[in-house]
Amino acid sequence: MIVVMRVGSPEAEVSRLCEEFKGWGLTPEKIVGKHKVVVGLVGDTADLEEALIREQSPWIETVLRVERPYKRASREFRHGEASEVVVSTPNGPVPVGEHHPVAVVAGPCSVENEEMIVETAQRVKAAGAKFLRGGAYKPRTSPYSFQGHGESALALLDAARQASGLGIITEVMDTADVAKIAEVADVLQVGARNMQNFALLKKVGAQDKPVLLKRGMSCTIDEWLMAAEYIMAAGNPNVILCERGIRTFDRKHTRNTLDVSVVPVLRSLTHLPIMLDPSHGTGFWELVPSMAKAAIAAGTDSLMIEVHPNPAKALSDGPQSLTPDRFDTLMKELAVIGNAVGRWESSREPALV
Ligand code: PEP
Ligand code: MN
């Protein structure tokens, strides 16, 4: 249920109402929008009459029932307004959301050594990226493939963070690692393979760092939003949804099928910020620029691009990684599309040479 308050409702009245709803066994969430205050009611509201709620205060404008299974993640829960996730980074806060410039995340699939991660961080920062990505703990299909350097790679990410000022995004696979990864990471990534690892979702929901939730490769949009709901229900409202390609029938020419149509679909269903990952979404670096441009044209709020100083020698995902030079070129091309749709930070416009 969403309780929409009239413009100018006194704060004390909104608080009084929230206390009343708590007394009914519900969890009220006050959301202060640009124009109005709304109170989202979470809990068992199936038998609750809208009229009974309306009677509780003359300041209530309307009461709406959210029919979707996800509540906090639903667009209605914020009365149609987009939310933003503001990530603290050494370079200052970086907002990710519908009303902000496209934020670009770039870096290698895996953190391999200090030199490569620091060099990549500096190169992608110079090209305009806001975040460095890099896996310390890697979810690999084969137990014999490189599994990531683990804890020692966290220290290397920290060095790259200090050297570049970029925010760090890295994956957490195990509930036991959440706290130590959160000490270094500015955003915790839950990977496609763990999208429905409910213990992990609850754990990242019970800590403060924003969460990047990748879409499971065979998951529907509703399942994905329900996974986001787990994180939000556990107390963390800062969730970014990342489309990274879904399993379809071609495995030869594309690794996955990047579902660009999720952008307008998610826009209507949820207020949460959206990221698209054309690297995992296609599997081949040659396809990344086209799909990155398509993602911006479609209205994504952010992009994730794998960049490696020497893709041929990468310990994971080399074939889909851009070199830093190719990433530079791509960022200049993206600026054209980003400016055309009014979503590019002006300082990132390509320098005239
Ligand atoms: C990754 O980001 O390196 C990764 C493993 O992604 P996904 O979970 O989308 O496969
Ligand atoms: Mn990867």
Percent of the residues in the chain that have a pLDDT greater than 90, as a whole number: 92
Measured from the alpha carbon of residue 171, the closest ligand is 1
Question: Pairing relation of β-strands 211-214 and 187-190?
Answer: parallel
Residue 133 scores a pLDDT above 70? yes
Contact 300, 276 (CB under 8 A): yes
Structure tokens at 144: 């014999």
Q: Is residue 75 part of a domain?
A: no
Rounded mean pLDDT of 211-219?
98
Q: Is residue 285 part of a domain?
A: yes
Q: Is residue 346 part of a domain?
A: no
Distance 56 CA to ligand 1 centre (A): 48
Q: If pLDDT is split at 50, 70 and 90, which confidence band does 67 have?
A: confident
Residues 29 and 123 in one domain: no
> Of all atoms in ligand 1, which is nearest to the CA of residue 193?
8
Q: Is residue 353 part of a domain?
A: no
Q: Is residue 229 part of a domain?
A: yes
* Predicted confidence (pLDDT) per residue in 240-288, tens digit: 999 999 999 998 999 999 999 999 999 999 999 999 999 999 999 999 9
Residues 147 and 207 in one domain: yes
Residue 152 scores a pLDDT above 90? yes
Rounded mean pLDDT of 88-104?
97
Residues 136 and 196 in one domain: yes
What is the number of structural domains in the chain?
Answer: 2
Q: Which residues of 262-280 are buried (b: 16+ CB within 10 A; e: fewer)?
A: bbeebbebbbbbbbbbbbb
- Residue 70, amino acid: Y
Residue closest via CA to ligand 1's atom 10 equals: 192
Contact 244, 281 (CB under 8 A): yes
Residues 301 and 158 in one domain: yes
Q: Is residue 42 part of a domain?
A: yes
**CA distances from residue 281 to 129, 237, 304, 347 in whole angstroms, order as listed:** 19, 26, 10, 28
Rounded mean pLDDT of 292-308?
98
* Predicted confidence (pLDDT) per residue in 325-351, tens digit: 999 999 999 999 999 999 999 754 444
Residues 129 and 158 in one domain: yes
CA separation for the pair 281, 300 (Å, rounded): 14
Residue closest via CA to ligand 1's atom 3 equals: 109
Distance 28 CA to ligand 1 centre (A): 35
CA separation for the pair 286, 263 (Å, rounded): 22
Structure tokens at 335: 């600026």
> Of all atoms in ligand 1, which is nearest to the CA of residue 133?
2
The pTM of the full predicted model, rounded to 2 decimals, is 0.94
Q: Is residue 35 part of a domain?
A: yes
> Of all atoms in ligand 1, which is nearest to the CA of residue 192?
8
Q: If pLDDT is split at 50, 70 and 90, which confidence band does 321 have?
A: very high
Q: For position 347, what pLDDT does the model report?
A: 54
Q: Is residue 151 part of a domain?
A: yes
* Burial category of 345 from C-beta neighbours within 10 Å (exposed 0-12, middle 13-18, buried 19 and up): middle
- The range of the structural domain enclosing residue 43 comes to 2-65
Residues 154 and 271 in one domain: yes
The three-point CA angle 77-81-87 to 5° equals 95
CA atoms within 13 Å, Cβ hemisphere of 249:
0
Measured from the alpha carbon of residue 141, the closest ligand is 1
Q: What CATH number should be reported for the domain holding residue 170?
A: 3.20.20.70
CA separation for the pair 58, 272 (Å, rounded): 31
Q: For position 46, what pLDDT does the model report?
A: 86
Residues 17 and 157 in one domain: no
Q: What CATH number should be reported for the domain holding residue 51?
A: 3.30.70.1140
H-helix segments, 142-238? 151-164, 178-184, 198-205, 221-233
- Give me the chain's average pLDDT, please: 96
Structure tokens at 130: 């806001």
Residues 144 and 206 in one domain: yes
Residue 105 scores a pLDDT above 50? yes
